[in-house]
């Protein structure tokens, strides 16, 4: 059982990364899709009870934001893996501007998330932490 937490600003490529790497094996938990914390908590708790691997596809910029998933997943026996998207603000903004109108996030919100962004640490409870970088061809380099 694996709990994957994606960390990065809007437009960093998190959802695309999920689709390419985890779509066939992990349930996607995303506020963009679920719209409320109540629905998110319901799906999250269902994954814990069912022992179903999942990916949290939100910005999760600070340790306090990630703690709502890390503690319960650790208690349920999940292996915790973080993917930190080291996407420069300019690149995230460019990618965000390419989104369809309804999916586009205001630039000020992207910049605000960027300012809050904290690299994850093992002390938070992660078993592994990976850094994800985007190439000019929109490919992912994971280290």
Supply the range of the domain harboring residue 21: 2-142
- Name the percent of the chain lying above pLDDT 70: 99
- The rounded distance, in Å, linking the Cα atoms of 128 and 31 is 24
To the question of pTM greater than 0.85 for the whole model, the response is yes
Q: Is the pLDDT of residue 55 over 70?
A: yes
- The rounded distance, in Å, linking the Cα atoms of 10 and 28 is 16
Q: What's the total number of domains in the chain?
A: 1
Q: What is the pLDDT of residues 63-118, one digit of tens each?
A: 999 999 999 999 999 999 999 999 888 888 887 787 776 677 777 888 889 999 99
Which residues neighbour 18 within 8 Å (Cβ) at sequence distance 6 or greater? 6, 26, 28, 55, 57
- What does the pLDDT read at residue 132? 97
CATH of residue 19's domain is 3.40.50.300
Grade residue 51 by pLDDT with cuts at 50, 70 and 90. very high
């Amino acid at each position: 059982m694996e709990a994957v937490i994606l960390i990065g600003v809007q437009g960093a490529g998190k959802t695309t990364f999920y689709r390419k790497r985890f779509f066939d094996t992990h349930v996607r938990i995303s506020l963009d899709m679920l719209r409320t914390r109540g629905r998110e908590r319901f799906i999250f708790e269902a994954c814990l009870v069912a022992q179903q691997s999942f990916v949290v596809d939100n910005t999760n910029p600070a340790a306090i934001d990630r703690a709502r998933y890390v503690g319960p997943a650790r208690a349920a026996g999940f292996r915790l893996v973080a993917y930190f998207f080291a996407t420069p603000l300019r690149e995230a903004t460019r990618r965000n501007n390419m989104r369809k109108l309804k999916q586009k996030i205001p630039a000020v919100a992207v910049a605000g998330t960027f300012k809050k962004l904290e690299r994850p640490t093992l002390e938070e409870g992660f078993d592994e932490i990976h850094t994800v970088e985007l190439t000019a061809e929109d490919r992912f380099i994971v280290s």
